[in-house]
Each structure stands twice: as C-alpha cells, then as structure tokens.
C-alpha cells in the first residue's frame, strides 16, 4: 500500500498547494490513502466545514487536527457529522467529534487513523500515551486494521520520539505535526514502524511558520501586544512523508520525505508511473 501524509495546511497557500497538486499525485504515485493535518487551514487558525470538504475533495481520505481544533467555532458542530475529521483522542470525555477513525483505502484496506496531542509545552490534556493504547487496543494492527497511522501533534521532539518507540511494531506510521518545520529523521524503527518527528507544513515557507514575517519579528523585538497574526500569501509548498506499507504485515517497507514547491530542497518518492 502506498500512503501519503501531509503536514499542517497553513492558510490559503497551503490549501491551494493541496488542491493543485494532490489530485495529480494520487494518480501519478498510485496512492492508496492520504491523510492531511488541517488544523491551521482557515487563515492559520482552525478549520471550517467548507475547507474540510475542499481538502477531502482534493484527495484526502481523512483530516487530522490539533491545538487549533476549535479556533473556528463551527468545528464544534460540523465535526459531529464529518466522520473523516479526527481531533486529538486525548481531549476530555464529552468533547465533540472522535479521536480515531477507520477509513477504507483505495485498495480496500482498513486504515485506522489516530490523532493525539502532546502535553509538553502544550495544553494539559489527558495522557496521550494512554489514549494511544486505548485506540490501538480497540483496533489492533493485523487483526482489525490493515494499517495504523498516528498523527502525534506536539511541540517536544522527545515526546514524539517516545511515542514512536512506544508504538513500534504496532503502527504503520507515527508522524509528528505542529512545529511547521520538517525534520530530517524519516526512518523505519526496529519493529517496522515508519517515523518522522515533524512533517512540516503545507504553506508558504517565505514566512515565520506560515505567518507573514513582520508581526512575529516585532513581537520578538518589543514583547508588546500588536496586530493579529496573518497567514503568508506566497506560493505554498507541500511537505510530508510517503510510506510504502507491506500489505501482509501493515508495517513499513520504505519511507520518503516529501517536499514539493519553493524554498525547500525538493524530495519525493520514486513512484512516478508516467
């Protein structure tokens, strides 16, 4: 199975990059399943129903979230009827939506998608490791799920790495999101789980984490209240990870960083079918 995960979609540049490039990539790389983190898709802050529908229409099979899940208040309502929108599983009991979803890949495989949020330098949510144990125990790889994808939305690399080893052999991919900067540690762990500390973002990299540069720089210089952060408006780059997953075991066979667009060194899997 060929799988693609794309990091945080930030504002219009990220959405346009996904809409313009993903439909072709699905066919060019014969992708069976695509998951996208969409928590910054609405101007950098949250997601709307219309934007979620756009990402799904462009070729995403599921959309994950993070600490900006509820910045657009309509998400509290429409997430209940959108079963392919997945918020962190370690939100307290009673939070709208779901922290895991089983989706059907193009090749018919059952793919469990789990989203959790870290706690180091983040909101004090429930234990993400217990949440992962709960979700994977309910839908184990090789028994109920043919593949398991975990989006660990967190600030600290150590917390993400710990999660990778915690799930090694039980997940197809553990990928970090949130920092908007792609890391260089894409690899397969000893037990067969693909891992990447952060997928980076889908957005304009001529920016400060996807935002127009002036206001973030001013905040560092002056430490005073100022203007609202605004998403940068340049050409977006797709950033993420492609994984070849063994159909028999559900574990990773190969991993390839993905960077398509300006400002970053290009990288892609050798899957071109044309």
On whether the CB atoms of residues 46 and 72 are closer than 8 A, the answer is yes
On whether the CB atoms of residues 25 and 261 are closer than 8 A, the answer is no
- Residue 70: how many CA atoms within 13 Å on its side-chain side? 8
Alpha helices in the chain, H assignment, sequence order: 11-28, 49-58, 75-78, 128-138, 157-166, 214-222
Could you read off the pLDDT of 28-51 as tens digits, one per residue?
999 999 999 999 999 999 999 999
- CB count in 10 Å sphere of residue 223: 8
d(CA 220, CA 104): 45
Domains in the chain, please, with CATH?
2-260 (3.60.21.10)
Q: Which residues are designated catalytic?
A: 68
Could you read off the pLDDT of 150-208 as tens digits, one per residue?
999 999 999 999 999 999 999 999 999 999 999 999 999 999 999 999 999 999 999 99
Residue closest to 14 by CA, chosen among 49, 51, 50? 51
Band the pLDDT of 273: cuts 50, 70, 90: low
């Amino acid at each position: 199975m060929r799988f693609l995960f794309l990091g945080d979609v930030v504002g219009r540049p990220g959405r346009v990059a996904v809409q313009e490039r993903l439909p072709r990539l699905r066919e060019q790389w014969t992708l069976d399943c695509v998951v996208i983190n969409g928590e910054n898709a609405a101007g950098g802050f949250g997601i709307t129903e219309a934007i979620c529908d756009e990402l799904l229409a462009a070729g995403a099979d599921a959309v994950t979230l993070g600490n900006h899940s509820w910045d657009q208040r309509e998400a509290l309502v429409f997430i209940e009827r959108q079963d392919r929108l997945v918020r962190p599983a370690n939100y307290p009991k009673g939070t709208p939506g779901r922290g895991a979803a089983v989706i059907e890949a193009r090749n018919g495989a059952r793919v469990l998608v789990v989203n959790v949020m870290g706690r180091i330098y983040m909101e004090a949510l429930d234990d993400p490791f217990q949440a992962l144990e709960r979700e994977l125990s309910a839908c184990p790889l090789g028994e109920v799920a043919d593949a398991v994808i975990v989006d660990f939305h967190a600030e600290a690399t150590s917390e993400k790495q710990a999660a990778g080893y915690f799930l090694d052999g039980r997940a197809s991919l553990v990928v970090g999101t949130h920092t908007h900067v792609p890391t260089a540690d894409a690899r397969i762990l000893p037990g067969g789980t693909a891992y990447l500390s952060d997928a980076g973002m889908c957005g304009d990299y001529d920016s400060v984490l996807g935002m127009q540069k002036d206001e973030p720089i001013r905040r560092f210089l002056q430490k005073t209240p100022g203007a609202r952060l605004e998403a940068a408006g340049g050409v977006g780059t797709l950033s993420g990870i492609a994984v070849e997953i063994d159909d028999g075991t559900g574990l990773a066979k190969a991993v390839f960083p993905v960077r398509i667009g300006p400002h970053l060194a290009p990288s892609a899997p050798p899957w071109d079918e044309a």
